[in-house]
Amino acid sequence: MNTRRSTPGLSESAVMITRVADRQWHALDDDLVVGRGHAEHRPDGRLFVSVDAWHDAAFDRLAQAMLTELPAPLHTVVDEADVELTAAWRRAGFSVRRREWEYVVPTDPRITGLEAVLPPPGVTIVPAGQADERLLRAVDRAIRDEVEATVGWQSMPAEVVPGLDGHTIVDPSVYAVAAAPDRYLGLIRVVRVKRPRIGLVAVRAGEQRRGIARALLAHALGTLHRSGAAEAWTEVHEGDQAASALFEGIGARPTSSNLELVR
């Protein structure tokens, strides 16, 4: 347990910043917990921090303790509408790295207009859990290389970093794919935790503008609809106009925007 004492803040007594676990901190005021800090590594390897504090002084001291004890770079995500929280992280030296719109996506084909959408000739949709892992990993690698050579992965949703074996597909069962006879042309990842999340829709560069992405969405959303899920959600980088147009074209609506900040 690591503790650092700071100068008196909004209360009459000094605020104690205490490291209560490997990546957890408490701010104590007269033995009362007035703030909590937490850090965690996400699957893509980045270290994210969060602070929940009763007042600015506790927030600032928690943030400073975490910044001192954790390796850089550090990331955090805030709802852009939360002006006070955004300002608090800016005081700690964080700056905006990216903005993402969160969309709610209907699954009912009568709303999306995807009921009659079929893949282009020569392309079939392989449902989630049925893809050939070798071909799945090959299309994932090919798309990653194409994106990295152009806009870079920083413009894409957060992804897992390659493991020691070089693979970036952790759970093949959550991917449906668009297949040609000899290879896969695109993929879609849908994860169900609290609510269905479309984490990625991607098509090989040479196969784009053929309707493959819409066919993948038609399949994935139709599957969710038949399972009883009325809505899914996804995040789109503010600069990705093609993705925004794709989702808005099927009735998805933006509900909020999130900021990723980094120090």
pLDDT, tens digit (0-9, with 9 covering 90-100), for 56-77 = 999 999 999 999 999 999 999 9
Looking at residue 259, its amino acid is: L
Instruction: Mark whether 114 and 243 lie in a shared domain.
Output: yes
pTM of the model: 0.77
Token pair of 243 as six digits:
């993705």
Looking at the domain assignment, is residue 97 inside a domain? no
DSSP 8-state secondary structure symbol assigned to residue 217: H
Instruction: Mark whether 64 and 125 lie in a shared domain.
Output: no
List residues bridging with 41 in a β-sheet. 47
Q: What is the pLDDT confidence band of residue 36, given thresholds at 50, 70 and 90?
A: very high
pLDDT cut 70: percent of the chain above it: 87
Looking at the domain assignment, is residue 93 inside a domain? no
Instruction: Mark whether 194 and 115 lie in a shared domain.
Output: yes
Instruction: Mark whether 173 and 65 lie in a shared domain.
Output: no
Instruction: Mark whether 65 and 121 lie in a shared domain.
Output: no
Residue 75: closest CA among 44, 53, 54: 44
Token pair of 28 as six digits:
């104590």
Residues in the chain: 263
Q: Which residues in 208-224 are b (16+ Cβ under 10 Å) and which e?
A: eebbbbbbbbbbbbbbb
ω before 121 within 30° of 0 (cis)? no
Instruction: Mark whether 165 and 258 lie in a shared domain.
Output: yes
Mean pLDDT of all residues in 236-259: 92
Distance CA 2, CA 197 (A): 38
Instruction: Mark whether 255 and 138 lie in a shared domain.
Output: yes
Q: Are strands 231-237 and 196-203 parallel, antiparallel or unpaired?
A: parallel
Distance CA 85, CA 89 (A): 6
CB of 22 closer than 8 Å to CB of 38? no
CB of 91 closer than 8 Å to CB of 42? no
Looking at residue 52, its amino acid is: D
**So what's the pLDDT on residue 147?**
82
Distance CA 136, CA 127 (A): 12
* Domain count along the chain: 2
Domain that residue 256 falls in: 102-262
Looking at the domain assignment, is residue 64 inside a domain? yes
**So what's the pLDDT on residue 12?**
38
Residue 159: closest CA among 35, 43, 4: 43
Looking at the domain assignment, is residue 88 inside a domain? no
Instruction: Mark whether 65 and 142 lie in a shared domain.
Output: no
Residue 70: closest CA among 40, 33, 34: 40
Q: What is the pLDDT confidence band of residue 155, given thresholds at 50, 70 and 90?
A: low
Looking at the domain assignment, is residue 246 inside a domain? yes
Residue 9 has pLDDT above 60, yes or no: no
* Phi, psi angle pair for 137, to nearest 5°: -65, -35
Mean pLDDT of the chain: 88
pLDDT digits (tens, 9 = 90+) for 199-213: 899 999 999 999 999
